[in-house]
Amino acid sequence: MSKIFIVTLMTVTTSILEMKEIIIRELIYFWYYFDLQLRQIIFYWFLGMILGSLISVFGKEKIHNLFGGMQKRKIGILGIVIASLLGIASPLCMYGTIPIAASFANKNMEEDWLAAFMMSSILLNPQLIIYSAAMGKTALIIRFTSCFICGIASGLLLRIFFKNKKFFNFTNFTECTNRDTDPNIILRFLKNFGRNIKATGLYFLLGIAISALFQRYIPQEAFASIFGKNRGFGLLMAATIGVPIYVCGGGTIPLLMSWLRRGMSMGAASAFMLTGPATKITNLGALKIVLGAKSFVLYIVFIMIFSLFTGFIVDYILII
């Protein structure tokens, strides 16, 4: 009996020691990939935080005043193009953009201009532009161009199909209070910078952690076969997974960097970069209120079709 007990104890001890070695080994691998990814992207994240806070504190009102001043000019369809650019330049998130748009709507701003401003603002902002630079010049250009064109397309569609109809309903939204009010401009900037880090830091680290797990446990060949070789299916998959996975722009950049290295086509990445922010769960709730059920469905259909079309252009025409 004692011999059986001793053998059993030795077996269990050996198993525990082996398990401990496996855990330590996997943690070392995880830290290696995590540290490597962190070193590659942290500069862009930090620079994006600085740029976003600078624009938010010192340039936000100028951007919004410029957009509001467009009402005084009869520029017609050109206003859609300008509105899309100003939406990208605005540093506000969705819950900051909607109250601003509501204030413009109350001043009878053209709805097609509002659509272009809101669409491009949802998809891209100055901070995310800096983050995206970590993926390389090609990905950055494609992201900026596709978001800019998406804003224009949304404005044009409203201008054509909803010219004499009401598309937005901002009844339940009022302009948000400006939090950058400290009389000391340095403290004003530092407070904004701190809020940005608090809002994005956890998601940024989480994105790097998930990316490290992908690199360790997902075979490159399998990933490439889904998102690279089979491009049509890869586009559809990338556009679809952007809905549940996308939480924060900074958090998804490490994932995209890893996916592109492992064989994801640039077209699939482009589709993900459009559907992700456009269908982010925290954004959809506010958009549902602003758009109403029918227009909300049109919005989802539009962004899915546009993202797939963009991915197709990148993969099959530009051949990137």
In a domain, 15, yes or no: no
In a domain, 45, yes or no: yes
- Residue 307's pLDDT is 93
In a domain, 136, yes or no: yes
- Residue 7's pLDDT is 64
In a domain, 17, yes or no: no
- Residue 17's pLDDT is 77
Cβ-contact 150, 271 below 8 angstroms: no
User: For residues 145 and 304, what is the distance between their CA atoms, to the nearest angstrom?
Assistant: 17
In a domain, 182, yes or no: yes
In a domain, 110, yes or no: yes
User: For residues 89 and 125, what is the distance between their CA atoms, to the nearest angstrom?
Assistant: 6
| Domain limits for position 296 | 35-317
CA neighbours closer than 13 Å in the CB half-sphere of residue 134 = 27
Q: How many domains does the chain have?
A: 1
In a domain, 239, yes or no: yes
Tokens of 112: 């097609």
As a dihedral over the C-alpha atoms of residue 105, residue 108, residue 111, residue 113, rounded to 10 degrees, the angle is -90
- Residue 48's pLDDT is 85
In a domain, 115, yes or no: yes
Contacts of 70 (CB under 8 A, 6+ apart): 79, 82, 83, 109, 113
Cβ-contact 98, 173 below 8 angstroms: yes
pLDDT tens per residue, range 151-208: 999 999 999 998 878 888 877 666 566 677 778 888 888 888 888 888 778 878 887 8
Q: Which has the closest alpha carbon to 171: 119, 254, 103, 109?
A: 103
- Chunk the chain into consecutive blocks of 10 residues (it has 320) and report each block's average pLDDT, rounded to whole numbers: 66 77 87 86 86 83 82 84 93 73 80 92 90 91 96 95 82 66 85 84 82 75 62 68 64 82 86 86 77 88 93 83
